[in-house]
Structure 1
Amino acid sequence: MAALLELRNMTVALGRSETAKVILDDVSFSLAPKEIVGVVGASASGKTVLSRAAVNWLEPPLTRRSGTVLFEGRDIYAMKEADMRALRQRVSYVGSNPMGALDPTLPVGAQIVEKMRAVMPDVSRRQADDRVIALLDAVRIPSARSRFHDYPSQFSGGMMQRALIVDALVTNPAVLVADNVTQPLDVTVAAQVIRLIKELTDQFDTAVLFISSS
């Protein structure tokens, strides 16, 4: 199967000088549709840098020294801003801080709907509400329709992580970057989230780059 996302010989440093610390050194991998690729490493080994380099989300002082990333055969580092905006609809990211990821003053469902309609403005509010509720149900949040109106403080850590997976999937991305999503969870909930991600690759045809600490 042809690669959906392909990273070739990526080197990233902490700054632009020749003596800057190298965080990633000549890293390559490929990700096919519906495939899960796992990246496991110790804390501070550069896993999050790798996940962000793979989708052109590096921020200063991180600097790409060399390497290419192809998404559906196109070099994402050579894309214009309009093309990058379209790419962000097709690539989603979930991090390891579920309780701090959403605005505590707004209902969870409303925030996810707002993101969906910002990326997909042609979708009506009713359609967006229905889509988010269906996804909350798909990730096994009990009473999804009523939970849609709850605030982040009313969600447990495991439920919030699932809600953030919904937030990532709501625009039907081709690729989901799951960056240490099980780190803040207890072992039982972490295992449930891992099983859930596997099921979602089958259900939504999403490829996953799964980052985890050793």
Structure 2
Amino acid sequence: MTRIVVVDDHPIVRAGIVGLLETEDGITVAGEFASGEAALAELAEARPDVVLMDLRMPGLGGVEATRRIARGEFPGAADLARRPGVLVFTTYEDDEQILSAIEAGASGYLVKAAPAAELIAGVRAVAAGQTVLAPSIAAQLVARVREPVPRLTPREAEILGLVAQGLSNPAIAARLVIGESTVKTHLLHVFEKLEVSDRTRAVTRAMERGILPGTSSASR
């Protein structure tokens, strides 16, 4: 019997998902929660094989909840024989949302417009340890990999490399003997070229695209 936990803050949507899953042979709903916090608090007791996770919820969002599940950062995690797989089930098909969820450790990503049969198949696949992506999501990721690699100047790449090492803007300025405002200007150019809005995402995007030393898009 495959045990499922459903996490979605919309009660009507959650009830519909639970009702659908409970009609399937071999699947039982071990819990339903309206927030990431509530799900994490009860996860060890529910002992699910799969967590069906919405992304945008009040408080702890789906991406961070997924990350904590993948890392075993929830009460009673050490008592579980294995951590549950997380299947993101959401209305959002935004590139950043998709990549953030996958980087957080999600085993699959389906959109709520998917047919019921696709959801059921996805749940069974994740329970079996497989990875599941909606066709539209897979196409987006393939297109992302095929995008032209942004070109950073040597100085921009150098500064981003120091960001990846955990250095702050003042520390980078001191290391390179330049003004902190100059560091900020270079980082703004990096953000624009990589189409991101923060330092962490700039580093992960650069790694995805093989821009930082020691990484390559072909190896990812």
**Could you tell me the TM-score, scaled by structure 1's length?**
0.27
Q: Computing the radius of gyration over CA atoms, which structure comes out larger, 1 or 2?
A: 2
Higher strand share: 1
**Could you tell me the TM-score, scaled by structure 2's length?**
0.26
Return the structure number with greater relative CO, CA threshold 8 A, min gap 6: 1
Higher helix share: 2
